[in-house]
């Protein structure tokens, strides 16, 4: 059975990139190579693979990718650091990230 990966990359400017792939090694190398100079990550090298999840069904992976892309920075950070209690807290605080965001 094919596997699908939803991943978060930390860029050199401390921003996050969320993506999906069926080959995480290959995809990270593609991001890191700057192969597509117009891509988000090519302009923010070097990169770090900060987090990933594995899925057996592509639709589940796509759904999760869309969910993570909609999350605030603070929620992504809680997920990556496995602070699940904080993640639940931030999920309930709709305007928290706007009031406490980094600029």
Q: Where are the domains of the chain?
A: 1-70, 72-103
Looking at residues 43-59, what average pLDDT do you find? 97
| Res. 93: pLDDT tops 70 | no
Quick check: 72 and 18 in contact, CB under 8 A? no
Class of domain 1-70: alpha beta
Q: In what order do the strands lie in the sheet with 4-10?
A: 16-21, 4-10, 48-55
3-class SS of residue 7: strand
Quick check: 19 and 38 in contact, CB under 8 A? no
pLDDT at position 35 is 85
Using 50, 70 and 90 to split pLDDT, how confident is the model at 58?
A: very high
| Res. 102: pLDDT tops 50 | no
How many residues does the structure list for the chain? 103
Report the predicted TM-score, pTM, of the whole model to 2 decimal places: 0.85
């Amino acid at each position: 059975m094919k596997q699908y990966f939803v991943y978060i990359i930390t860029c050199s400017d401390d921003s996050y990139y969320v993506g999906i792939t069926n080959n995480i090694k290959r995809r990270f190398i593609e991001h890191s190579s700057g192969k597509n100079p117009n891509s988000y990550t090519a302009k923010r090298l070097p990169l770090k693979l900060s987090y990933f999840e594995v899925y057996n069904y592509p639709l589940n992976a796509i759904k999760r990718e869309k969910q993570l892309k909609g999350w605030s920075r603070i929620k992504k950070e809680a997920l990556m650091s496995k602070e699940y209690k904080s993640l639940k807290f931030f999920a309930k605080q709709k305007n928290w990230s706007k009031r406490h965001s980094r600029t």
